[in-house]
């Protein structure tokens, strides 16, 4: 999770509080998951589309910006309009994103293994990411509370990493 674009030096506290909220109050947060995810998709999609147009990335046929940003924005609008009726869509989108993230991790494991090193921790993380992503895609939204709790753990980790980065940058 990239958090370096957050403003100010206290942004890690927001991540920390959101992480604690997701971890401890997952059943309360879960009904809002589709709308929150939709909002995130719209914001990220708009950011990606604007950047793609600004930098004229559409001229490079190997780049998907700004088209991917436009599609991401459209997908994000659906849960904003339909609410929890769009939970299956959000689970599928998160699952696909999770598989893409897992593919990057698995690629690092394969690369290290080709150099006669085997990163057990990275391999374990990649395997878990694959399993969780597949579960999201095929669970029909039944495991959303588990995934909200996992999001809480990820937010807490991001807060810790960001806080450490801010301290190093300020010193």
* Residue, of 110 and 42, whose pLDDT is higher: 110
**Residue found under tokens 């994103």:** 97
Share the mean pLDDT of the chain.
83
Mean pLDDT of the 140-165 span:
78
Domain boundaries defined on the chain: 11-166
Neighbours of 129 (CB within 10 A): 19
Instruction: Give the tens place of pLDDT for each residue, 148-157.
Output: 888 788 778 8
Three-state DSSP class for residue 27: helix
CB 85 within 8 A of CB 71: no
Higher pLDDT, 123 or 6: 123
Q: What average pLDDT does this structure show over 116-131?
A: 89
CA–CA separation, 41 and 136 (whole Å)? 17
Residues above pLDDT 90, as percent of the chain: 29
Whole-structure pTM value: 0.66
Q: Residue 16 has what DSSP assignment? A: H
Say what the pLDDT of residue 11 is.
63
Residue 116: the pLDDT is 93
């Amino acid at each position: 999770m990239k958090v370096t674009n957050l403003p100010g030096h206290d942004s890690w506290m927001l991540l920390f509080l959101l992480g604690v909220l997701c971890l401890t109050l997952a059943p309360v947060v879960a009904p809002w998951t589709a709308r929150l995810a939709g909002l995130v998709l719209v914001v990220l999609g708009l950011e990606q589309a604007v950047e793609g147009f600004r930098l004229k990335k559409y001229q490079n046929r190997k780049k998907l910006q700004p088209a991917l940003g436009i599609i991401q924005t459209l997908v994000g609008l659906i849960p904003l309009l339909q609410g929890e009726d769009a939970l299956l869509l959000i689970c599928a989108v998160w699952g696909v994103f999770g598989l893409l993230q897992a593919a990057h991790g698995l690629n690092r494991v394969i690369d290290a293994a080709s150099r006669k090193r085997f990163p057990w921790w990275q391999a374990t993380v990649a395997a878990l990411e694959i399993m969780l992503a597949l579960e999201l895609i095929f669970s029909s939204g039944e495991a959303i509370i588990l995934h909200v709790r996992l999001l809480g753990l990820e937010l807490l980790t991001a807060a810790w990493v960001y806080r450490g980065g801010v301290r190093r940058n300020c010193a």
